[in-house]
Structure 1
Amino acid sequence: MPNAPLAPAPLRGPLAEPWSPGKLLRLLGMFGPAAILASVSIGAGETIVVVRTGAWMGYGLLWLILLAALTKGVCVTYFLGRYTAISGEAPGQRLVKLPGPRGWLLFLLIALELGAAGPLWGALARPSGELMSYLLLGGGDHGYTNRLIATAFIAFALLLSLPTSYRSLEKQQVIICGILVAGTCIGTLLVRPDWFAAWQGLFSIGHIPSVPATAPPLFRDSVWPLIAVTMGYVGGSVMTYLVYPDFIALHGWGMTGHPQREELLQRAAAGMPADYLPTDPEQVQEIRRASGPIRWDVAFGAIVLLVVSAAFMIAGAAVLYPKQQAGEDIAKFDGWGLLTDQAEIWNAIHPSLVWVYYLCVVAALWGTLQSYPDVYARGVTEYFRAIWPQRQWNQRNIQLVICAYVFAAACAVIWSSMDFDAMTQTVNFLATSLGVCIAMFAGLYLNFQLPPAYRTRWWMLLCGVASAVILTGVSSIACWGLWQTLTK
């Protein structure tokens, strides 16, 4: 029977074991794909954007971290990853069939991500150049030297990303996540924050504190751009979510590990998941159970994102915010010298720990820049294969082209007069707000492409819809904030 449903993929690893304390530890060991997502977003947002929000606004906007972790770290990641684990099919193969010109949505998502690549890398590299210039040359304004160091930093990261395999990249990011969680938590405990205020700020969702006079004029005029940028940068850019299903397939989770995967993909391309997924209740439950690693992985990734992001903002609120309120160094904690100025957090604990901070920041930024080329190449390759399946696409060749493009775009931004806020708001609107918002709607659409028995529970669907609404609002604010910045 050529049209008979496929049997469920066999359970693997800890999922096939009876419950025991050892099984729990082995389930923790499955954390991997979401580590890359967490590491990428931590380097891009927490080390630069989140700390300054704490420095300017204290504990009052901690709820943005929680909201971003739930909407992006959980819902967007889960809906996209779960579709692939249940159906065995990559999201791009289904989204390419949307009504309209073939692959229009995939082209849009690629354009949003790569359009933001120049400002994204520039906003990471320029502060990194300032930091390394400070370490190597001492204080002072070194002008073009800082830009040269930033350019070299990008070139070095891009070159070293080329021979990196996914397995080594995943192991590297898990280690970096562990270092960041341990380092930031210890540092936060040592600065002795106001835990009651932090707890209150974390759950005061929707509360917007008054902007202090020490904040930059852009945010004194309106706090909304700050809210959009802070929430947007927590969780990373759209392509990191779009390649998560590809990482799942590399692990063979769910139906992606089916022994008849080639037949599965052929039947998926010719029809719908309902054409090959079984309807027997026991087999349905077995397939849902086989997708269990997604829940563990997404949960651990979201926890890392929440803990590290909150720790960075709490540290900024505990050490830097009082200085701002007292009128000390009010020109600091903004622009290109932000990473260098943040050393005051660790200096407040003990001067010898400043070097620990420098090493942690460089590790976080390096993890981000090392991950992005692979993320870009995987996303573009998968979507090009979906749009033009008759052609052969080599991921390594695509990565070479993307690395050349990223280097050129980042250099153009670094050596331009574009300021830090314009860079971060451009990235925020294109890739971390609008792009992620579209990805959330795509995840909801994919959920309804599954047979009813395989769709998410009703409460998870409500969470996904709520996330889509919230991300739509944030994207609208990000668009307005960018317009205000570019036209001022």
Structure 2
Amino acid sequence: MPNSPLAPAPLQGPLAEPWSPGKLVRLLGMFGPAAVLASVSIGAGETIVVVRTGAWMGYGLLWLVLLAALTKGVCVTYFLGRYTAVSGESPGQRLVKLPGPRGWLLFLLIALELGAAGPLWGALARPSGELMSYLFFGSGDHGVTNRVLATIFISIALLLSLPTSYRSLERQQVIICGILVTGTCIGTLLVRPDWFAALKGLFSIGHIPSVPKSAPPLFRDSVWPLIAVTMGYVGGSVMTYLVYPDFIALHGWGMTGHKDRKELLERAAAGKPGDYLPTDPQQVREIRRAAGPIRYDVAFGAFVLLVVSAAFMIAGAAVLFPKQQAGEDIAQFKDWGLLTDQAEIWNAIHPSLVWVYYLCVVAALWGTLQSYPDVYARGVTEYFRAIWPARQWNQRNIQLVICGYVFIATNVVIWSPMDFDVMTQTVNFLATSLGVCIAMFAGLYLNFQLPPAYRTRWWMLGCGIASALILTGVSSIAGWGLWQTLAK
């Protein structure tokens, strides 16, 4: 019968094996799509924004890292990815059917991400240019040279991203995540932090310490913009979450690996998931179990995000915060020497920290810049196909256009007088707070598009609703902070 339910997709890989210690190891090997998300996320957020928050506020705001890992790294990623694994349909194909002009929400999400691309890449490129200038030419004001090096840096990243396939990108990002976790843990141990204070700060959710006089006036007047920027930058921008379901489909997890997926997608386009998903309890359990890799992948990705972000903030709190409190004259986080100043201070603490610092920073920045063009292109291609299904869309051609746009937009920012805080606040409001908040609400909506038997457990739904409310508050604060900054 053409309208009969589709049979569950068979279990694949380790999920089909009986329980054994070897199965656990092979389950760990399923970590992949979330590695790309984690690596993309760990750029300016961890190497700069999180470190300076620790330098200014000590361990007191570590709970923001935990909150971001739970709300964004777990809930947003899980709800979007799980819908695709259970239904076999991408979120864009369902969201395009929302009431109103066709694809209005998809256009909004693309606009938020690409609108923030110039400041996002500029906030990565300018400090990187300063760091390379410092490494090649030593300390001093090199003026135009710093901007030229920043332009060269992004040019190389964009060019090298073009021939990269998803499979090679995923393998690269898994290695980078391993380097980041290992390197940051070593670096954190070497600075000998106050672990009791760190644990207290990590779990003191909602506690806001007083802002020290050493912090910039922007945050000394009100700590709320600093809170919004810090939490927003932990976890990356909205497009990284929107393409996660596409990565899942490449792995064939859940119903995306169904042998009749073409029929599945046709029936989904003509109706809704309830039209083809079986109602038999045993088959429901099989489909839910086939979507199991999502849980492991999301958990590993959130773990990497939490460990690396917390390690960078702890390093700032352990090394830089005491110097600020003691009133030492250290030139840090001023102008664009945001990465360079950290290296000088770490070198003064212990020379062996320098290689750890450079390795982690280079890996973090390179992982971010290598991944973003593919992330942009996948997201735009997927949504354009959903909006205009009759047309042919070539992802490689779209990536070429996006790379050209990113190059122009970033250079406009690099050669403009825009300062770092304006860049980060702009990116934070558009892409890492408001955009991600909308994505969380979209994930909740998608969950209710599934038949009741396939929806998340009640406690996970509660976590998703709480995350949506938290992200709404952060987005409001981010918008208010940006408005206050631009109005000055």
TM-score, normalised by the number of residues in structure 2: 0.99
Aligned match of 1:462: 462
Alignment-derived partner of residue 266 in structure 2: 266
CA distance in 2 between counterparts of 1:150 and 1:348 reads 26
Q: 1:430-449 to 2 correspondence within 5 Å?
A: 430-449=430-449
Q: Which residue of 2 aligns with 1:186?
A: 186
Q: 4+ residue stretches of structure 1 with deviation over 6 A?
A: none
When residues 198 and 355 of structure 1 are mapped into structure 2, their CA distance, relative to the original with a 3 A threshold, is same
Q: What is residue 359 of structure 1 aligned with on the other side?
A: 359
Partners of 1:61 and 1:202 within 8 A in 2: yes
User: In 1, Cα distance between the equivalents of 2:349 and 2:472?
Assistant: 40
For the residues of structure 1 that align with 2:196 and 2:442, how far apart are their CA atoms? 39
| Structure 2 counterpart of 1:42 | 42
Moved more, 183-192 or 91-100: 183-192
Alignment of 1:4-23 (within 5 A): 4-23=4-23
Partner of 2:155: 155
Q: Is the 8 A contact 2:183 2:360 kept in 1?
A: yes
Query: Could you say what secondary structure the match of 1:89 adopts?
Result: coil
Residue 346 of structure 1 deviates from its aligned partner by 3.4
Aligned partners of 1:98, 1:345: CA distance in 2, in Å? 52
How much does 1:44 deviate? Answer: 3.1
Superposed, which structure 2 residues align to 1:21-32 within 5 Å? 21-32=21-32
* Number of the residue aligned with 2:420: 420
Q: Distance in 2 between matches of 1:305 and 1:247?
A: 18
Residue of structure 2 equivalent to 1:132: 132
Residues 105 and 417 of structure 1: CA distance in aligned 2, closer, same or farther (over 3 Å): same
1:317 corresponds in structure 2 to: 317
Q: What is the correspondence of 1:293-312 to structure 2 with a 5 Å cutoff? A: 293-312=293-312
Question: Which digits, 9 at most, give the CA deviation of each residue in 1:129-186, with x for residues without a partner?
Answer: 0000000010001011000000000000000000000000000000000001000001
Within a 5 Å distance, the mapping from 1:279-290 to structure 2 comes to: 279-290=279-290
Unaligned runs of 5+ in 2: none
For 1:184 and 1:358, the matched residues in 2 are separated by: 11
SS of 2:249's partner is helix
1:22 partner letter: G
Letter in 2 for 1:432: T
Aligned-pair distance for 1:349?
Answer: 4.8
Tell me the residue number matched to 2:246.
246
Equivalence map 1:85-104=2 (5 Å): 85-104=85-104
Post-superposition CA distance 1:401-420 (Å, at most 9, x none): 00000000000000000000
- The within-5 A match list for 1:336-485 is 336-344=336-344, 346-485=346-485
What do residues 45-80 of structure 1 show as CA deviations (whole Å, max 9, x unaligned)? 100100000000000000000000000000000000
* Residue in structure 2 matched with residue 84 of structure 1 by the alignment: 84
- Cα distance in 2 for residues equivalent to 1:198 and 1:345: 21
Q: Which stretch has the larger CA shift, 385-394 or 351-360? A: 351-360
For 2:410, the aligned partner's letter is: A
Amino acid at match of 1:172: Q
In 2: Cα distance, 1:405 partner to 1:398 partner: 11
The residue identity in structure 1 corresponding to 2:461 is: L
CA contact (8 A) 1:52 1:334 kept: no
Cα offsets for 1:14-73 (capped at 9, x unmatched) = 000001110000000000000011001112310010000000000000000000000000
Q: For residues 44 and 3 of structure 2, what CA distance do their matches in structure 1 show?
A: 47
Kindly state the Cα deviation for residue 344 of structure 1 after the two structures are TM-superposed. Answer: 4.3
Residue identity opposite 1:44 in structure 2: A
* Cα shift readout 1:323-382 (whole Å, capped 9, x = no counterpart): 111112354124411111111453255214313322321121011000000000000000
Structure 2 equivalent of residue 107 of structure 1 = 107
Separation in 2, partners of 1:315, 1:330: 16
Aligned residue number for residue 207 of structure 2: 207
Q: Kindly provide the amino acid, as one letter, of the partner of residue 90 in structure 2.
A: A
SS in 1 for 2:207: coil
Segment of structure 1 superposing worse, 347-356 or 201-210: 347-356
Number of the residue aligned with 1:327: 327
- For 1:64 and 1:344, locate their aligned partners in 2 and report how far apart those are by CA, in whole Å: 27
SS at match of 1:250: helix
Distance 1:17 1:335, change over 3 A: farther
Give aligned pairs, total.
488
Within 5 Å, which residues of 2 pair with 1:52-91? 52-91=52-91
Aligned-partner residue type, residue 293 of structure 1: P
Number of the residue aligned with 2:275: 275
Deviations 1:417-464 (A, max 9, x none): 000000000000000000000000000000000000000000000000
Equivalent AA in structure 1 for residue 471 of structure 2: L
Q: Given that residues 7 and 278 in structure 1 are in contact (C-alpha distance below 8 angstroms), is that contact kept between their aligned partners in structure 2? A: yes
**1:226-263 deviation digits (Å, cap 9, x = unpaired):** 00000000000000000000000000000000000000
